[in-house]
A = this chain, B = another copy of it.
Amino acid sequence: MKIGIAQLNFHVGNFEGNLRKMKEAIDKAAAATADLIIFPELAVPAYPPRDFLEFDDFIERCDKSIAELSRYSGGKGLAVIVGSPERNPVPEGKDLYNAAYFIEGGKVRQIVRKGLLPTYDVFDEYRYFEPSREFQIIRFKGKRIALTICEDLWNIGNENPLYTVNPMEELMKQEPEIMINIAASPFAHGHTNERKNVLKNNVKAYGIPLIYVNHTGTQTELLFDGGSMLINDRGRIVEELPYFEECIRYYHWDECFDKSNPLVSDHDQKWDKNSVVHKGLIEGIRNYFYKLGFREAILGLSGGIDSALTLVLASEALGASNVHAVLMPSMFSSEASVSDALKLAEHLGCEHRIIPITEVYQAYLDILKPHFKNRPFDVTEENLQDRIRANYLMALSNKFGYILLNTSNKSELAVGYGTLYGDMAGGLSVIGDLYKTEVYDMARWINRKEEIIPWRILEKAPSAELRPEQLDQDSLPPYDLLDQVLQAYIELEKGPAEIIAMGFDRKLVARVLSMVNRNEYKRHQFAPILRVSPKAFGMGRRMPIVAKYLS
């Protein structure tokens, strides 16, 4: 028996496109004489469809795709496993199941339903789906297959399991010979290793091999890294598919068992954090633009590290000729900033232009002065400069159909060191899930072979340049300290006592946590952020705005 796995990049709600892609894969698999081709979880509508799942019309289109896949694969003489929602046939409970369709001989032969529904962080599955309480193996060409969906394998080896049931325990009673898991498992740095451990632990626990099929490509803020794999019955990774690439591979049944190739070594990919996050961000930009039907980006280039890194990433993702950089100096901008920014744009080959904000800024001050009642220069005037820049960028975005890329980093988003409708503007946040120290780290990695980002940008002290002699460090704790406290609070969800116990100053901790909580209202109005950490601002972190806790 020959099994094909299709790690593909689908598009939420694009039924025609997704179906076309699956038909092409079926053609290829048929040509390769595969008996079975496997697509990932909810491949039909793509993942996550979110509240579209509440629309009857949307589910009908899923059903039509399943019917068409049945017809098409039947004609090609091969079986298909594919994820799609299924209507719950009984009135009690949620209206849908998150299901895997087993299609053979042109018909849906069996439907397997997901039992463990992730409802945490970016996941909302119990919002839509009823959990299955019954689990049946699939029989195909005399083989017994334990087919599960993503989270169903994740209640293992954990001292604090999230669920009270374990689908594989039920399935093992039916003596399956192999596990197949279809998934929609988003990327986060560190998560890839966790995923491998969980999957290997399943193989260890149940003693049978595992075929794992994940999505690749990105959907707004969620990045799916692929990394589909075959783990043989001895727990060795026979092959791990590339990260962030579409890929179809075939395996013979025997390859799933160590005896057929006892010398296979563990084939997992060892990517360092910067390489894989970099690849993820590139894909994140590309998918955002192309799936929305856009080609060109615009961004403000300040001469600082954040916009420099964003420009490099955007140029690689979209092609430098599709990225437009705008320098918008004020009387507070240093000459070094302007020349560093120019140097970078020229090096990359991006179209760039200089539009000073000084005159427009003065026009605002002239008309607003009588209304300011002689109050001194403060954050008002600083924010105004940021907002004029956003207006320039949005004007060019509107006039030419560019998407404005936001250049804020996670540290400043966390503490509210940014201007709403100013430097917080943009359709997509590229590096909003990288702390400032991670931004530097990736910039150094970008420069590992040659100077792409002028070294001077990495070396100078960060400044918003909104008033004379301004430095970030005047308003914020040093970034290496700040980022550690932020990580403890945001990623590790530690409280003040725990963070202080880690060795941080009590006042610093109180100040930082208060800044994070008080600025929830700003992040609420922020663009989607490409998620590369286990806890990003956005759909996976849901905080009250009007609250009084550590604030």
Contact = CB atoms under 8 A, between A and B. Distances in A.
A544 to B, nearest CB: 5
A366 B155 CA distance: 63
Contact of A549 (B12, B383, B542): B12
Contacts of A355: 367-368, 371
A11 interface: yes
B391 A387 contact: yes
Interface string A496-533: 11100000000000000000000001001111100000
Given A384-B391, A395-B368, A549-B13, A498 B57 contact: yes
Contacts of A368: 355, 392, 395-396
A220 B546 contact: yes
A395 B364 contact: yes
Interface string A211-230: 00000001110000000000
Given A119-B127, A383-B398, A544 B364 contact: no
Given A58-B495, A364-B391, A525-B525, A544 B50 contact: yes
B525 A526 contact: yes
B55 A11 contact: no
Contacts of A380: 395, 398-399
Interface stretch (A19-27, A91-99, A231-239, A264-272): A91-99
Nearest to A123: B127
B91 A548 contact: no
Contacts of A50: 542-544
A420 interface: yes
A448 interface: no
Nearest to A118: B127
Count of this chain's copies in the oligomeric assembly: 2
Nearest to A324: B371
A375 interface: yes
Interface stretch (A104-112, A195-203, A286-294, A457-465): A286-294
Contacts of A543: 50-52
Nearest to A13: B549
A49 interface: yes
Interface stretch (A68-76, A157-165, A184-192, A469-477): A157-165
The 6 closest A-B pairs by CB, nearest first: A57-B495, A13-B549, A14-B548, A380-B398, A363-B363, A421-B421
Interface of A: 11-15, 17, 48-52, 54-58, 60, 91-95, 119-120, 124, 126-127, 130, 159-164, 218-220, 287-288, 291-292, 353, 355-356, 359-360, 363-364, 366-368, 371-372, 375, 378-380, 383-384, 387-388, 390-392, 394-396, 398-399, 420-421, 425, 427, 493-498, 521, 524-528, 539, 541-551
